[in-house]
Chain A
Amino acid sequence: MDLFHNLAIGFATAAQPANLLYAFLGCLLGTLIGVLPGLGPLATIAMLLPITYALQPDAALIMLAGIYYGAQYGGSTTAIVVNLPGESSSVVTTIDGYQMAKQGRAGVALATAAIGSFFAGCVATLALAALAGPLTATALLFGPKEFFALMILGLILASVLSSGPFIEGIGMVVLGMLLSLVGTDLNSGSQRFAFGIPQLFDGLDFVPLAMGIFGFAEIVKNLEQDDKLSLVTQKITNLFPTREDFRRMVPAMLRGTTLGTLLGVLPGGGAVLSSFASYTLEKKLSRHPEEFGKGAIEGVAGPESANNAGAQTSFIPLLTLGVPSNVVMALMVGAMNIHNIHPGPEVMTKNPTLFWGLIASMWVGNLMLLILNLPLVGLWVKLLTIPYRYLFPAIMVFCSIGVYSINSGTFEVYEAALFCVFGYVLIKLQLPAAPLLLGLVLGPAIEENFRRAMVLSRGDATVLLTSPLSASLLAAAVIAIILIMLPTIRARREEALQE
């Protein structure tokens, strides 16, 4: 079997002692930072990115993937223990997880999240391995116009799924694409929007932008809110779910995993959408819907499995098509570019050890999280007792050093300061920053494919609609827009996406 052969290559890479160590370090550091309230996977990856600069590409990617899962899991811990989601994909976990903690079942809730995540991780890894081949083969059939249509669809879906009015999300995407045009135009070699500043010739770097908006501006916002954390318990005892707990959580885990695996592949999907969808589904299917919001174990098991499955399968469009489906994946593109890997169909054929090593390390990472987190839960909870006034300067320090070390230059530091102000404006106007970052990352590829498609068709834009593949992708985008305009769906979306 090809699949097993490929997985064997992957496990041979992932099981090398050095790579195991980096996966372990990634999971540990990711959890460490991800546990801190207000720091989601995005900020965590951005902060820890400099640590991976010096590593080999495969070790760096394995570590980054570990950081991602660690941060994701850390967010769930915060959600359960202090009722504060570390990141948006664990928002729904706060609902029942915190209630369980209040009833003295924090340990059980944490164990449920860990077991659910591990199970979902195993399934999603297999799905990823199985789907990678066929999807890569499809991607090789794509020409410029198909890629253009696919990316447009991804961006539209991402704006549909971001919070706030749809039109404002699209505006942020377009603004991000405009910002991506700063720097050298690859076709003509001329400078655009660089104003003679040499540091801008290579374009706006996304790390200072992400740190400014998601690191610094977020701190200003948190300082304004100044809400007190309410730790429910200092001591976590009794980790093991009872037989009755197992009976209730297993079906929820299965459903959550299926849902997450499917929704994660969707452009614009991923962990956040998966967890919301799973919570809604569990509540609908439950024989005791009245228990939801009062500590129903299904409300933890389902969404936690779903968000982990979604987090993992969202690597599929990135690795096979080269299209990041959400902001975290967009950041991964940036991280890969630093190591001179350009995500897309070629990665699998040109660099099979890296590709399959990354996939296998996802499973390894999930196993490590399970082993790591249950014994260390007490330590993570302790971390939460550090007051924010000591914590945020630490975040400032890590972000500043991280931004500086991108190019060993202070220009990026000033850039991050500028984007801190810009991010603060976005927060005050309640404009979503995630679509901006996606537009920034996808912008150059969209322009490139658009220009190539137009050259091939001699300037005839209707070619986008006459090719069946690009026409159906664009049709899907239009349908998404129409659906979101319908009043009933609009109301339900607002309900589902409000935090």
Chain B
Amino acid sequence: MPSKQKKFNFTETFNELEKITEKFESGNIDLDQGLQEFERGLALASELKKKLQEVENKVRVIKAKFKDLEETEEQSDK
């Protein structure tokens, strides 16, 4: 699982899941390690799914003139 200190990175997490699967595909799984990696793979998959089940997107409007950020939570569909 992505550690608490490090921010969850979707791409890295997805890549890791793919890598574990590739490793399994290639055979040669050490039994102990294989079980650990299997568990990790499942955890990664659930993190990824969780991220994609988020509903809201944030829209930050940048005020051009002053180039500072004003954060507004807008509904993304109107």
Q: Are both chains from one complex? A: no
Give A residues with C-beta under 8 Å from B: none
